[in-house]
Amino acid sequence: MLRVAIPYGLLSAAQLRRLALIARRYDRGYGHFTTRQNIQFNWVRVAEVPDILASLAEVDMHAIQTSGNCIRNVTADHLAGVAPDEIEDPRPHCELIRQWSTLHPEFSFLPRKFKIAVTGSLGDRAASQVHDIGLHLVRDSNGRVGFEVLVGGGLGRTPVIGKVLRPFLEKRDLLSYLESILRVYNLMGRRDNKYKARIKILVNAMGIDAFSQAVEREWTLTRSPELDLSVARLDRYRAHFAPPAYVKAGGDSEQHRALINRNPLYRAWARQNTQRQRQPGYRAVSLSLKPPGGAPGDLNADQMDSVADLAETYAFGEIRVTHEQNLLLANVHENDLPVLWRALASRNLATPNVGTLTDMICCPGLDYCSLANAGSIDVAAQIQARFDDYDLLYDLGDIQINISGCMNACGHHHVGHIGLLGVDKKGEQWYQITLGGQSSDQARLGKVLGPSIPKAEVAEVIENLLEVYVEQRRGDERFVDTVHRVGVTPFKSPSMPLLNRDGHLVASPWRLASEQPDGLRPYSVLTLEQWRLLKHVSPEVLHLGLRLDGDAEPEQALPWLDASKLVEIHFASFIDGRGFSLGRSLRARFGYSGTMRACGEILPDQLQLLARCGFDQFLLEDTEAANDGRAALSAFDVCYQPGLRIANGFDAPQNSGSSTSANIRSTAA
């Protein structure tokens, strides 16, 4: 594989045409755009690489530092210079970093690879918080623009969100401060184990405060005035990124308005694949590289040539690569949108799915990569085939699915709203699912949903997850925001076994309530807040339940305890014992006689203790945990606490439901 650098994701039309030539002449007719705004050619002959590099050099391109333990390609926000929320264009600073870091004599043999991302907007569209260094242009209390510096982010085997190293760094000090960070890392980073060699490991081992002190000390002692960025020098670099000559382009605005009203395909494309710029009358147009049946991020040579032509005609000859593995034409006049749409549609580049769940980030997987454990592209195709109804996609809204074929996480699965990690199980491909990750703004790592699933079941499981989302969301709430609000447990439950304290797996009609009280149905489990909002509903008729967090006060449940046929207590951690006392208090102090269920982070070995505290049912992670829990329930027949005995090993189950094998199935919390 040959990876070609595209600094901060910016290409000229001439450069894209040269990439098309390379794809056609030296590869199999296409290239693959990556999350770090590069392009990869996966089938080049080693003997022809010198010719490829010479061809790239003719258009000021190269493959320097696209691999190895060095400073890699600097990435940036693909809306740099046009974003409405931008504080300052980050591209001049990216170019400064690119020049400073290229063939740097001190940092060509680091402990491990090193990645830097820069953003100049309020929103983080560059995944900067999961880079070794993330740079955010910010304003201080006096209105000065400088950098917030994050360090130690990264994914792979040890995913970490970057930590703030300096809340404000003056722009003139950027290069000297970066040099101090790199020097501390180069001197102190581990080299005995490549899996422990990234800067995130060093930062976590030292602690951010100690690491900061080391960097500040180094900076104070060795900062070079030659690296100071004067206003004049910055202005020279800014001049290379001056706005184009915005003029009224050709086209018919009446046709644009008419198409919006008349053509649903154009209307969907304009809504999903274009966005307003801060320059009035212009839009940034996303070219989806995720058509139905296509490999995410791939573009063939003919399409590259076509995009180069369209960029020269409608976008001042400039093409951008996005973190999401799409292309973008900035500075397109709104009057030109109809003709551009027709041209893109004829080249299969107008799929109106940007920002939907089929706009997936996806690594090459087993199709190209020798490190992969499982396929990625074929899983993406499975999901695309399952979700081919655009009306459904638009109703589901903003959902980011990220797919990685191995733990190296080139598909950024840790920070996908839904993340898929391919794993090998005795030669078969399985996938671990995480929920709730995000790389933008307040970045988060996703939480593992449960045991991995076979490849053939991926799309079906995602469909089940989305059904839970639709039931749980509030209004137009995004999928990831719903996950953050309700937690992972409601999404786990369709595949989680429910065990009674008599040791039987049982079916259960109980489901967490939707967030709209008027939409309640029988056997809905409500939170305390939902009970407080409940009006004009007879709980006795609906059979409602109450959900409590393990740290709740018993008295909080009292107003609704008698009306609740089920009380479900959620344990945030298996080492947090407050849920045991909460359950015991509801039985002993308030005489609650309905069904009491434990869910969340509970261990099979804890089930007998939970049963002795009054719990009837236990929602467990998988069948193996249920088998272990069944054994734990009958493990001890001696109890030294007279008031907490279980007669004959088990009490008669309360409200247990059927325990026949025909009714053993997955249930929802």
Structural domains in the chain, CATH included, are 82-242 (3.30.413.10), 253-346 (3.90.480.20), 361-486 (3.30.413.10), 496-663 (3.20.20)
Structural element, H or E, at residue 423: strand 418-425
Query: What pLDDT is stored for residue 495 in this prediction?
Result: 57
Looking at residue 241, the DSSP 8-state letter turns out to be: T
Give the type of residue at 600.
Answer: G
For the segment 576-588, what is each residue's pLDDT rounded down to a tens digit?
899 999 999 999 9
Helical ranges in 3-46 per DSSP H:
13-26
User: Residue 242, class by beta-carbon neighbours within 10 Å (0-12 exposed, 13-18 middle, 19+ buried)?
Assistant: exposed
For the segment 387-416, what is each residue's pLDDT rounded down to a tens digit?
999 999 999 999 999 999 999 999 999 999
C-beta atoms surrounding 244 within 10 Å: 14
The confidence band for 170, taking pLDDT boundaries of 50, 70 and 90, is: very high
pTM equals 0.78
The confidence band for 471, taking pLDDT boundaries of 50, 70 and 90, is: confident
Asked if pLDDT for residue 75 goes beyond 90, the answer is yes
Asked if pLDDT for residue 490 goes beyond 50, the answer is yes
Instruction: State CA 255 to chain mean position distance.
Output: 38
Asked if pLDDT for residue 657 goes beyond 70, the answer is no
Q: Which residue is associated with the tokens 């391109």?
A: 61
Paired tokens of 481: 């925001």
User: Residue 16, class by beta-carbon neighbours within 10 Å (0-12 exposed, 13-18 middle, 19+ buried)?
Assistant: buried
Asked if pLDDT for residue 312 goes beyond 60, the answer is yes
Answer whether 248's CB lies under 8 Å from 333's CB.
Answer: yes
Task: Provide the mean pLDDT of the chain.
Answer: 90
From residue 238, alpha-carbon distances to 73, 91, 315 in Å are 20, 8, 20
Answer whether 526's CB lies under 8 Å from 545's CB.
Answer: yes
Distance, in Å, from the CA atom of 281 to the CA atom of 260, rounded to the nearest integer, reads 16
Paired tokens of 382: 């499975």
Beta strands 39-41 and 2-4 are antiparallel
Start-to-end C-alpha separation, the chain: 47
For the segment 642-654, what is each residue's pLDDT rounded down to a tens digit?
666 554 333 333 3
| Mean pLDDT (whole number) for 87-93 | 98
Query: What pLDDT is stored for residue 4 in this prediction?
Result: 98
Distance, in Å, from the CA atom of 154 to the CA atom of 189, rounded to the nearest integer, reads 15
Give 404's contacts (C-beta < 8 A, 6+ positions apart): 363, 376, 410, 411, 412, 413, 419, 420, 421, 422
Query: What pLDDT is stored for residue 278 in this prediction?
Result: 94
Q: Buried b vs exposed e over 255-288: b needs ≥16 C-beta within 10 Å?
A: ebeebeeeeeebebbbebbbbebebeebbbbbbb
From residue 484, alpha-carbon distances to 443, 465, 472, 548, 601 in Å are 12, 14, 12, 17, 16
In angstroms, what is the C-alpha Rg of the chain? Answer: 28
For the segment 235-284, what is each residue's pLDDT rounded down to a tens digit?
999 999 999 999 764 455 778 888 999 999 999 999 999 999 999 999 99
Asked if pLDDT for residue 522 goes beyond 90, the answer is no
